[in-house]
Amino acid sequence: MKRSSRPPTATDSFVRSQAENAMLTQEIIRRKRDGQTLNRRMLDLVVRGIADGSVGDAQIGAFAMAVYLNGMNRDEAVALTESIRDSGQVMRWTDLDLPGPVLDKHSTGGVGDLVSLVLGPWIAACGGHVPMVSGRGLGHTGGTLDKLESIPGYDVTPTDDIFRRLVKEVGVAIIGQTGSLAPADKRLYGVRDVTATVESIPLIVASILGKKLACGLETLVMDVKVGSGAFMPTPEASRELAEAIVAIGCGAGTTTSVLLTDMNQPLADCAGNSLEILEALRLLGGDGKRSRLYQVTRQLGQEMLLQSGLASDAQDAGTRLDRALDSGEALERFSQMVHGLGGPSDLAERAGHHLPTASVTLDLDADRAGFISAIDTRALGLGVVELGGGRRNAGDAIDHRVGLSHIAALGQRIEPGQPLLRIHAAERADAEAVTQRLRHAFILSETDDATPPPLIHATLRQEDL
């Protein structure tokens, strides 16, 4: 008996499209596996399939491994970054008629690195507009969103209208990545994390810049860390990443520069979410101008003002930054941002009332005298994780109260019984459990012959490549 024919349905078309994409993706993976070059059209097809689900996890893993093993040339890396940027919403700011440039800063992460909390409002006070989309901590590094969620009521996932209004009126809004922003990156990263393909420069840069450039930036300044607490394992790897970021960011149409900054010790003398909010408020209030945190933040601010055209030269940039901080305008921008995203309006005045504090503090005293010649910064970060202030897995809950403070610095003379740091914990048993790890993070020598590394190892711009 002859079957009656029926017209194709939308479901039929979708299934056929998925099958065709899978076959084409297989050929693209084969091409990359064999060391050949991919063009923008091929990368668009793969990335679009990652975003809409038509490319499966097995193919994503194979694609990532092919890139990991064979690398990408500069044109390929730019095309991959642009494809990830364009896989979802790309923010546009022209309709807001902003009076200043749209710019941002991003860091590869570290311990005691609260630069974003200070720099965003500081640049806003100098006339910039900073739509800062930040992330959470994982492993030994802290996350900006976790720090901000120490503040009662702070909403890291506001509506687009609120986000855009704050960027225009306050000049800064620090929020989390939305589902519509570079959706391909989230899925690609998740597969990379379980297929041993995280350590690939083209994939790392495409992940970082794909999200950042989707924010519609005119200027981006990156802070790439170097040292024992850095994301990259060696100074050479950090330099390679920095050069790739500059080249690919500029190749994708955004003025991009990188500062290589030191992470051989915590940037601030504290690490932990609520503790770092307190430190940010202190610095924005004009204290701590001799600290490493202040110096690195100011250098990044100068670079942002210079690259965006908000300052004519380094001296002009420094003058503008000093005026914004000393006048209280930078702190006011931070306060307006916090209140605009649901936090208390008087956080700066009553931080001790609003921010959670640990119920137990314990000083970790030195057991002998000496000069601090080295610090295992990663071990300090992992100590915060053990206390509950960080994550081993992406879904872990955070205790915003816990962390470390009064961390001794490289080159400092320590006497027996003098604290190396102070532990902030939920329970005394938690504090005692991490003492050995933390004690072993400090190397003491009898002589003061260690030369502290420079805070800024290098500045890279397009003309330096």
CA–CA separation, 270 and 252 (whole Å):
37
Q: Are 267 and 113 in contact (CB under 8 A)?
A: yes
Structure tokens given for 265: 């010790």
Q: Three-state SS for 162?
A: helix
- Edge-to-edge, what's the strand order for the sheet holding 456-460? 103-107, 219-226, 255-262, 456-460
Q: Which two tokens stand for residue 106?
A: 């991003």
Three-state DSSP class for residue 363: strand
Distance, in Å, from the CA atom of 227 to the CA atom of 192, rounded to the nearest integer, reads 24
Strand order in the sheet with 370-375: 413-414, 370-375, 442-445
Is 192 annotated in the active site?
A: yes
Task: Choose the catalytic residue: 54, 141, 207, 219.
Answer: 207
Amino acid at 164: R
Q: What residues pair up with 104 in beta bridges, in sequence order?
A: 220
* DSSP string of 302-353, one letter each residue: HHHHHHHTS-SSHHHHHHHHHHHHHTTHHHHHHHHHHHHTTS-TTTTTSHHH
Task: Decide if 104 is catalytic.
Answer: yes
Burial class for 332, CB neighbours closer than 10 Å (0-12, 13-18, 19+): middle
Burial of 382 (0-12, 13-18, 19+ CB in 10 A): buried
**Cβ neighbours around 196 below 10 Å, total:** 11
Catalytic one among 32, 54, 87, 104? Answer: 104
Phi, psi for 220 (deg, rounded to 5): -135, 130
Catalytic residue among 192, 298, 378, 401: 192
- Measuring CA to CA, which residue among 17, 7, 102, 92 is closest to residue 52? 17
**CB contact set of 352 (below 8 Å; sequence gap of 6+):** none
207 included as an active-site residue: yes
- The active-site residue, picked from 187, 211, 422, 457, is 211
**Token pair listed for 43:** 């990368």
Among the listed residues 85, 106, 292, 298, the single catalytic one is 106
Active site residue 107: yes
Catalytic residue among 107, 108, 256, 274, which?
Answer: 107
Residue 165 is a catalytic residue: no
- Tell me, yes or no, if 144 is annotated catalytic: yes
Q: 437: exposed, middle or buried (C-beta count within 10 Å: 0-12, 13-18, 19+)?
A: middle
Point out the catalytic residue in the list 32, 105, 147, 239.
105
Q: Which listed residue (212, 225, 378, 401) is catalytic?
A: 212
Active-site entry in 144, 255, 257, 373: 144
State the DSSP H helix or E strand holding residue 167, giving kind and residue range, or none if neither.
Answer: helix 160-169
The SS3 of residue 361 is strand
Q: Which residues are catalytic?
A: 104-107, 144, 192, 207, 211-212
